[in-house]
Structure formats: structure tokens, C-alpha cells
Structure 1
Amino acid sequence: MSTTFHIRLASLAAKDNERFLAFVDSQLPWLESVGSGGQWGSTPRGNVEASQKKAFTRVQKSEACEGKPYSSYWGRAYVLEAEVDVDSLSDEVKQLSGPPNENGRVRVPVAGMVLESTSADYVRSILPEIDEKSPFLYLFFLASDRRTSSINKGSGAFLINHAKEEATRLGIRRIAGDCWTGNGRKLVQFYESQGFKSIEDFEAGDQKWPGTVFEMRI
């Protein structure tokens, strides 16, 4: 049987805050191998207190916003799970899955996404914190688990489509975000393939991290 995606809201009880950091850490060796080590650096986030606090706060905020209307405080975090036959998985991926159902299928967390109603502070010269004339959802975090690369194909596109559905549900007609522009703008090209358009490039922080702000009108 084929892979089926299911999306759920992140929760502290499920330790999804730790899961998001594990997603990032799983990407670091692969990014380095394809010439994109500058995107997230080489330092694992899982044991960094500041990263732990940020992840905890985002999931906590998401839970607090459940059922709440769009506002300057609004934010939601999501986990994407792939439902597959347990016998098709490697031992490593089986350890990441839940228990099998009566049909021998399991759900494996393969990717995560965080949406906010305010922009990242390092892009404020390009995109205001809040745009009352043209409100947006900000794609704050999008990452897959590299350990599940055999079953997570299409996870990014699935989550972006969910972001569009969420924006429509909230009456928002715009999604914005930012990404790294290094290594020949390959990541930019991915977002463009999903319907985003770059607005303006920028450099952030003392290391002059190269990025671009993008948006999609829906």
C-alpha cells in the first residue's frame, strides 16, 4: 500500500517541541553533504537551551491558540505523519513510529511546520511585523526528518498546501516567509515551485546569513 499523509496539531504532551529540534538536527549532515551547510550550520539544536526554549514556546503558543481567531498573537504548529506498512520500514524508522494498527500500518512523524501572524524580526526592514492592510501568515518553520527520507517525499508540498488551507479558513489571502539563498538558490527554487515569489534579498546577523523574503497571494 502507498504512503498516506496525516496532519495534526503539535503538542507538548507528545514532546513535539523536541521532535522539531530533532528534525533540524537530522538535516545537518545531509545539508553539509550537498553544499548547503551554511543554511543551518553544523551545531545540533537538541541540547541547546535557547533552541529548546524557542521550540517549547512555539508549541505552547500553538496549544493556547487552539480555536482562537486570527490576531497579532496567533500561531500554530503542526506535525505531518506518514502512514505506511510497518513491514516496509527500516529498524531505525520503526523506532520513530507509533504502534501498528490492525492492518499492520503505522504513523511516522516525518515533518513539521510553524505558522505565525507576525514576521521574523530579522526581515522587518522588508516585511512589517504585522500588515493590517494585507495580513499574512508567516511560514516560520518547515523541516522534514531526514531519517525518514524513504517515506517523506512530498511532505514539504503537503504542508505548504495545508498552510494555504489554513489561511483560507482564517480569511487570510497571503502567506509570507523567508529562506536561505546559498548554494545556487536551490531552496528558493523549491519555494518558487510551490507558488511563492521572492520579494527582496537580505543579510541577517553578524555572519550576514543570506536570505530572501517570499510571499504567495491566494
Structure 2
Amino acid sequence: MGKVTDGTEWTDVRRGGADDVPAVMALLDGAVQWLTARGRHGQWGTEPLSGSRRLTTLISEIAADGGLHLAVRGDTVVGALGVGQPPAYVGPAPEHELYVVLLVTDRRHPGEGLGRRLLSYARRLAVASGAGLLRVDCYAGDDRALVRYYESQGFTATQAFTVPQGEKQWPGQVLEQRLG
């Protein structure tokens, strides 16, 4: 789809590549710091995610597959959207879909609509690909604030799941949105 500029915001969305992986990892580290400062350790823990080889490899693979899209302001990455195949713990959809595998925004810009802007972009990508369904999964623990965020963006909660993490279970929620 190329670069898209929204005149109501000073944010562009462009495709990301391998060179953008460190910026995405920095966004994830910022999100962990923000969550930790609020006592919300369940989603991503307390340690910087940039130290995770597994996650860095995953973001690199999303970029290599053409599924990484970045919200940028000038030369600064302020958000990242990754689309691709659903993770193994989520069953495939019975129809053509676009799956959001990553959504993170710069926590230094709260309330500016960056997540909304990237989800809108994901909807356009889905429609352009012929998909009638957009799905995402997220952390469903604590007070389910992230689930409520996606519901406020027009998604409907469908499948709840858990992922084993050592002796604990990470609670998750799949959400979907039908596209016209």
C-alpha cells in the first residue's frame, strides 16, 4: 500500500524492514517500562524485551515477510503494526483473514490515537487483500484493560486461551472484527 499520510494527524504509516527491528524493540522496551511502572507485570514481565532473541527473531521474520508497518513522525518510529499468520495457540479462521500479530505504540505519546491509526491501517490492508475478517489476540489478565481497548476499537472477544509460562499460565483473548 505504500506510505499513507493522514492529514488529521502528523503521523505517516510506512512499511518496515530489517533496519527497523531495533526501533520496534525499543518501543517494546518502552511498553514494558511503562507497564512495570504501573505494577502491570503479567503481560510482558519486567525485563526489557530487546534482550529476547526469540522476540527479536520474530520481529525480524515479520519484517522479512512484508508484514511490518510503522507509524512514523519525521524519522521517528512511534508505533508498530505486524500482520501475519496467527500464532500456534490460536486456531486458524475458517475464512480468509488478516491477523494482527503485533501492535505497540510509543508510551511517550499517550492518547494521540496511534493504536487507532495503526488498526485503521490494518483494516485497509485486510480489505485490500480480500479478507473479510481482522483478528488479534492480546493479554487478558489483570483487569482485562487491553481486551477492553480492542473492544473500544470495534473488535468482539471470541476465543479465550492460556499459554503455559513455566508454572504459570498467561491468559489471552482472541478478538475479531468483520470487515464490510
TM-score class normalised by the smaller sequence: 0.7 to 0.9
Equivalent residue in structure 2 for 1:134, among 95, 115, 118: 95
Provide the secondary structure at the position in 2 that maps to 1:113.
strand
Equivalent residue in structure 1 for 2:76, among 95, 102, 108: 108
Matched, 1:16 2:20: yes
In structure 2, C-alpha distance between the alignment counterparts of 1:110 and 1:201, rounded to whole Å: 30
Equivalent residue in structure 2 for 1:80, among 71, 84, 107: 71
Deviation at 1:107, TM superposition (A): 4.2
Matched, 1:157 2:116: yes
Q: Which structure 1 segments of 5+ residues have no match?
A: 63-75, 83-105
Larger radius of gyration: 1
Equivalent residue in structure 1 for 2:125, among 160, 166, 185: 166
Instruction: Give runs of ≥4 in structure 1 deviating > 4 Å.
Output: none
Compute the TM-score of the two structures, normalised by the length of structure 2. 0.87
Question: Map of 1:90-101 to 2, 5 A cutoff?
Answer: none
Question: Map of 1:19-34 to 2, 5 A cutoff?
Answer: 19-34=23-38
Compute the TM-score of the two structures, normalised by the length of structure 1. 0.73
Provide the secondary structure at the position in 1 that maps to 2:42.
coil
Q: Which one-letter code corresponds to 2:114 in the other structure?
A: S
CA deviations over 1:183-215 (Å, ceiling 9, x no partner): 211110100000000002111123210111110
Provide the secondary structure at the position in 1 that maps to 2:144.
helix
Provide the secondary structure at the position in 2 that maps to 1:205.
strand
Q: Which one-letter code corresponds to 1:79 in the other structure?
A: L
Paired residues in the alignment total: 170
Residues 96, 130 of structure 2: 8 Å contact kept? no
Residues 176, 215 of structure 1: 8 Å contact kept? yes
| Percent identity between the two aligned chains | 27
Deviation at 1:55, TM superposition (A): 1.9
